[in-house]
A = this chain, B = another copy of it.
Amino acid sequence: MWYYEKKLQYPVRVRDCNPRLAKYLIEQYGGADGELAAALRYLNQRYTIPNKVVGLLNDIGTEEFAHLEMIATMIYKLTKDATPEEMKKAGLAPHYANHDNALFYHNAAGAPFTATYIQAKGDPIADIYEDIAAEEKARATYQWLINISDDPEINDSLKFLREREVVHSQRFREAAQILIDDRGKKQFY
């Protein structure tokens, strides 16, 4: 089980009320390669991955929830003072009509989060490559967001998150090697 502490993994600051930027960032909240998808993927795979990798999945899955909270905080800070008129100007009227300034787990185009974004196969090699791919895709998304962001404070946080994905990808590659090496001793299939 988890215990909550009221702090963020890394500080989140925003320069201005900027709902248009929030509209883009929501991709990493409820999108295909966002932090929710990441956390749910790893914590779910924990149960059937070989023991050597359980701790890694647990740690990274838990960290992704911290990232999800950072993204939520960014979106909240970028929109909390936005008037309905400012939401409209930012292209957020469809979101506002449904959710006011509240957050929701959809991607930047408004498609709701679905578990079909993620996978668990029971096969250790397949699962770990799913995870490596996930981290590379999350890294790419952070890059695209940095490219279209106009808030240097936000970009500081996004760069931190992008770097964490690079670290996670590296750690999953090491785990893949361990699993492949173990295959010599015990045939998976």
Contacts and interface: CB of A to CB of B under 8 A. Distances in A.
Interface residues of A: mostly helix, strand, loop or mixed? helix
Contacts of A145: 97
A147 interface: yes
Interface residues of A, number: 86
A119 B116 CA distance: 11
Contacts of A168: none
Interface string A113-154: 111111111110111011011001101110111011000000
Contacts of A130: 133, 136-137
B115 A94 contact: no
Contact of A114 (B88, B108, B114): B114
6 contacts: A24-B93, A95-B109, A98-B107, A123-B140, A123-B143, A130-B133
Interface of A: 1-5, 7-9, 23-24, 27, 30-33, 36, 40, 44-45, 47-48, 58-59, 62, 65-66, 69, 72-73, 75-76, 80, 84-85, 87-88, 91, 93-123, 125-127, 129-130, 132-133, 136-137, 139-141, 143-145, 147-148, 189
